[in-house]
Chains A and B, each alone.
Chain A
Amino acid sequence: MTIRFSVNGEERSVEADESMPLLWALRDLLGLRGAKYGCGIAACGVCTVHLDGSAVRSCVLPLSAVEGKRVTTVEGLGGNHPLQRAWVDEQVPQCGYCQPGQIMQAAALLASNPNPTREQVREAMNSVLCRCGTYLRIESAVRRAAEVMRNKEASHD
């Protein structure tokens, strides 16, 4: 069947079984390979994308739940997002496989909480696994990006 939704600001449609998780539609049908397959059971978070602005595990989210909604993937951040810059500044990634999921999880956190405490960052980021062990740098990068975004916000006021 045809399922329509917006991806990174563009209207897209896919011909697929509505039970297909969003992850596979993004990767195999829409050519967006930033989100990764890790566990298939929403336990590792490397497939994290946004659905109407909230972080979701795309490996278990059926297309039927995506119809008509807004999906944002790491490709949709544009490459120069404060989080992406902070990830470079803090030299976060090692292998990098989980990092698109980490960045999307962080983006959802900062959208809802522009000034998270250290504990809030650790709690919010707890759902995305990193086997290389980049957690401390992720924490620093999230807080750095939050500060940049707050300053930018303030200068617009």
Chain B
Amino acid sequence: MIDFAVATSLGLIKLLGMVFVIIMPLMIALEISRGYGILEKIVKGIAPAIEFLGFKKDSVFPLLAGMLFGISYGAGVLIGETKKGRIGSDQAFLVAVFLGLFHAIMEDTLLFVAQGAVWWILVLPRLLLAVIVTSIAARTIGSRS
């Protein structure tokens, strides 16, 4: 029982430490790139893709964070934006659908490739599914409201 409590506490501290170390620089990078208009430029570059998937520009940074680092980090960024009223519930749902199917893409892929998996079969079907399902969800939401 004591072993369990110690192991769980240590594991929890390690997990939260990792979350802190990733989320702080992410949020600082987000504020700086917003302040200097960098975010606008990124969004402009990929505008057609964003529009097709039904995303608004404020969802782009949470999406990028989630794709690279994991859904919790995307959510962490998004939660801050939601508080400021930048991202509504429908947008949050679309972000969750896309990231649900396609996130932490480097880490997950490398882990399975190290075990002998074929990388493009890991990545392409997930990306394709995320694109198809998200665009369907966006149109369903759009036609309802």
Specify whether A and B are partners: no
